[in-house]
Amino acid sequence: MLRGRAALLLLLVALLVGAAGVGAHAFLDRAEPRVGSTVRTAPADVKLWFTERLEPAFSRVEVVNEAGQRVDRADGAVDPLNPALLRASLVPLSPGLYTVIWRVVSVDTHVTEGDFVFRLAP
Amino acid sequence: MKTMLRVSLLAAVFVAAGTEPAWAHGLAGKRFFPATLVVDDPFVADELSLPTVFHSKLPGTGDTLPRKETDVSGELAKRLTPDLGLSLGGTWKAIDPAGGKSVTGFDNLELSLKYQFFKSEAHETVLSVGVGWDVGGTGGKKVDAESFDTVTPSVFFGKGFGDLPDGLELLRPLALTGAFGWAVPSRVRNQKISSTADGDVEVEREFNPTLFTWGFSLQYGLQYLQSVVRDVGLPRPFNRMIPLVEVALQTPVDGPRARYTTGTVNPGIIWAGRYFQIGVEAVVPVNADAGKNVGVRAQLHFYLDDLFPETLGRPLFGN
């Protein structure tokens, strides 16, 4: 009886795990410049790698300085060769603190958002 | 063409929904709240906890022997609307009393309804109210399932500390969740009539107290640390772990044990993956009334909204 229940449980777990592959919430896996880092050379762009493939039409990123002014070139987009990579190019930056703000939709339509800072040292 | 069609369909879905694309399980702004193992979550979601396994040596009470107990439980939570959820849970128990005969059986079914009435993305805050119903008589008497109902109205909260000031940035991954409930039994006293060896009739009355149930969890999201505060270079699987401690307490408000609080402190860790999470916690009694042995609880928990985003993982209405 107990063995039967265990088999049923295993079958259910297998079905659930087997259903995987559709997509899930996209969380930020890593970024360049790194989250919370201080860099010594002005980056030419920001790159954000996510844990899931993104919907290009509904995923965006922008970068602002301490005064809240945008310093990205408004070309933030999902990389055509890597659907889990969101990138935007930057204007030449001067030393200071910058905030990267992102909001993405994964291919299963789940929304996630976040922000982080990096500092450009003098 | 195929891409255009997909984008159009997505846009149509979002517009038809009238709001936003799906957020679902335990997200408030940048904060991801995992499903905790002991304290009920503040959010509604499409989830399946299966199994949750608990084992401990428990102390005897007035009419029960000290015992080893193993529980295997499951709970299915389903959103009726984006903010209203229903859950159904059951537990199979194996009780091995000291010097007594081992028994097994199901505990009472548990139903609950929860409404999430407030969410602040900026302040990573979630507030909910709910009511739980332990359905008396649905479990086995052998495992001491109550023959009466218990109804527990509760309030729930979740708060992430992402809005702490800059000097405290390493505390931003912290989050606190909690639940406060008032468990009211449908029968104040149980009466047991038995006959003694010399033929006398003996009547035992057992008081069923109303309980104030309260608990909280304090969590530190390593993924939050890595992706919002500072990338400290944590490798997998550590970058998706959430160390936490849960405290679950109950205080009778009437009867002979009024104001004697018992409960457990449950330190542990949750690993949250794409489609499921795994959690393990120690179960430490807070005082002698709650026992003296450390138990263990482990849980496998599935995110149905990620596994089945187009079917089981969506609210029945309104999204």
Provide the percentage of residues in chain B whose pLDDT is more than 90.
73
Identify the pLDDT of residue A74. 96
Q: Do A28 and B274 touch (CB under 8 A)?
A: no
* CA proximity to B273, closest of B297, B302, B245, B298: B302
Over 60: is that where the pLDDT of B106 sits? yes
Give the H or E element holding residue B274: none
Identify the pLDDT of residue B53. 98
Identify the pLDDT of residue B311. 86
Q: Do A36 and B169 touch (CB under 8 A)?
A: yes
Provide the percentage of residues in chain A whose pLDDT is more than 90.
75
Give the lowest-confidence range in B109-123, B131-145, B184-198: B184-198
Identify the pLDDT of residue B17. 37
Identify the pLDDT of residue A26. 92
Q: Tell me if B300 sits within 8 A of B64, measured CB to CB.
A: no
Identify the pLDDT of residue B59. 85
* CA proximity to A55, closest of B8, B311, B26: B8
Q: Tell me if A31 sits within 8 A of A46, measured CB to CB.
A: yes
- Closest-CA residue of A relative to B14 is A109
Q: Do A111 and B20 touch (CB under 8 A)?
A: yes
C-alpha B97/C-alpha B67 separation (Å) is 4
Does domain A23-120 fall under CATH 2.60.40.1220? My reply is yes
B7 vs chain A: nearest CA distance in angstroms? 7
Cβ-Cβ contacts under 8 Å for B284 (sequence gap 6 or more): B264, B265, B266, B267, B294
C-alpha A30/C-alpha A33 separation (Å) is 9
Q: Which residues of A touch B (CB under 8 A)?
A: 9, 12-13, 16-17, 19-20, 22-25, 27-31, 34-37, 51-52, 55, 57-58, 105, 108-116
- Cα torsion for A12, A15, A18, A19, to the nearest 10°? -120
Q: Tell me if B29 sits within 8 A of B162, measured CB to CB.
A: yes
- Which among B25, B32, B275 has the least Cβ separation from residue A20? B275
Residue A18: count of CB within 10 angstroms of its CB: 9
Report the residue of B121, B225, B231, B302 to disrupt the A interface, i.e. the one with the largest count of A CBs within 10 Å: B231
Give the residue extent of every domain in chain B.
2-307
For the sheet containing A60-64, what is the strand order?
Answer: A38-39, A111-120, A96-105, A60-64
Identify the pLDDT of residue B18. 36
Q: Do A36 and B229 touch (CB under 8 A)?
A: yes
**Counting one residue from A and one from B, how many pairs have CB atoms under 8 Å apart?**
102
Cβ-Cβ contacts under 8 Å for B10 (sequence gap 6 or more): A55, A57, A58, A105, A109, B21
Identify the pLDDT of residue A23. 62
Q: Tell me if A67 sits within 8 A of A39, measured CB to CB.
A: no
Over 90: is that where the pLDDT of B290 sits? no
- Closest-CA residue of A relative to B229 is A36
- Which among B14, B24, B229 has the least Cβ separation from residue A110? B24
Q: Do A19 and B11 touch (CB under 8 A)?
A: no
pTM, rounded to two decimals:
0.87
Give the lowest-confidence range in A73-87, A99-113, B20-34, B105-119: B20-34
DSSP string computed for chain A: -HHHHHHHHHHHHHHHHHT--S-----EEEEESPTT-EESS--SEEEEEESS-B-GGG-EEEEE-TTS-B-B-S--EE-SS-TTEEEEEBPPPPSEEEEEEEEEEBTTSBEEEEEEEEEE--
C-alpha B319/C-alpha B80 separation (Å) is 10
Give the lowest-confidence range in A24-33, B128-137, B308-317: B308-317
Over 50: is that where the pLDDT of B225 sits? yes
Pairing of strands A38-39, A111-120: parallel
- Which among A31, A36, A111 has the least Cβ separation from residue B21? A111
Longest CA pairwise span in chain A (Å): 71
Over 70: is that where the pLDDT of B149 sits? yes
Residue type (1 letter), A86: L
Q: What is the mean pLDDT of residues B250-255?
A: 94
- Pick the most confident of A76-80, B288-292, B315-319: A76-80
Identify the pLDDT of residue B257. 86
Give the lowest-confidence range in A88-102, B77-91, B300-314: B300-314
Report the residue of A27, A48, A102, A119 to disrupt the B interface, i.e. the one with the largest count of B CBs within 10 Å: A27
Q: Which residue has the higher pLDDT, B266 or B195?
A: B266
Q: Which residue has the higher pLDDT, B289 or B207?
A: B207
Q: In which band, very low, low, confident or very high, does the pLDDT at B310 lie, cut at 50, 70 and 90?
A: confident
Give the lowest-confidence range in B40-54, B151-165, B184-198, B243-257: B184-198
3-class state of residue B9 by DSSP: helix
* CA proximity to A114, closest of A69, A59, A70: A59
Identify the pLDDT of residue A17. 52
ipTM of predicted assembly, 2 dp:
0.85
Planar angle of CA A52, A53, A57, nearest 5 degrees:
130
Report the residue of B93, B307, B319 to disrupt the A interface, i.e. the one with the largest count of A CBs within 10 Å: B307
Mean pLDDT, chain B, whole residue set: 90
Q: Do B231 and A36 touch (CB under 8 A)?
A: yes
C-alpha B303/C-alpha B319 separation (Å) is 17
Identify the pLDDT of residue B239. 93
Give the lowest-confidence range in A61-65, B59-63, B73-77, B224-228: B59-63
Does domain B2-307 fall under CATH 2.30.30.90? My reply is no
- Which among B11, B14, B50 has the least Cβ separation from residue A12? B50
Over 70: is that where the pLDDT of B181 sits? yes
Give the residue extent of every domain in chain A.
23-120
Identify the pLDDT of residue A22. 53
Identify the pLDDT of residue B39. 96
A114 vs chain B: nearest CA distance in angstroms? 5
Cβ-Cβ contacts under 8 Å for A6 (sequence gap 6 or more): none
Q: Tell me if B13 sits within 8 A of A109, measured CB to CB.
A: yes
C-alpha B319/C-alpha B317 separation (Å) is 6
**Cα A88 versus chain centre, distance:** 12
pLDDT digits (tens, 9 = 90+) for B17-51: 333 444 457 899 999 999 999 999 999 999 999 99
3-class state of residue B106 by DSSP: strand
Over 90: is that where the pLDDT of B158 sits? yes
Cβ-Cβ contacts under 8 Å for B99 (sequence gap 6 or more): B65
3-class state of residue B166 by DSSP: helix
Report the residue of B8, B225, B226 to disrupt the A interface, i.e. the one with the largest count of A CBs within 10 Å: B226
pLDDT digits (tens, 9 = 90+) for A73-95: 999 999 999 999 999 999 999 99
A73 vs chain B: nearest CA distance in angstroms? 23
B-chain residues within 8 Å CB-CB of A115?
30, 228
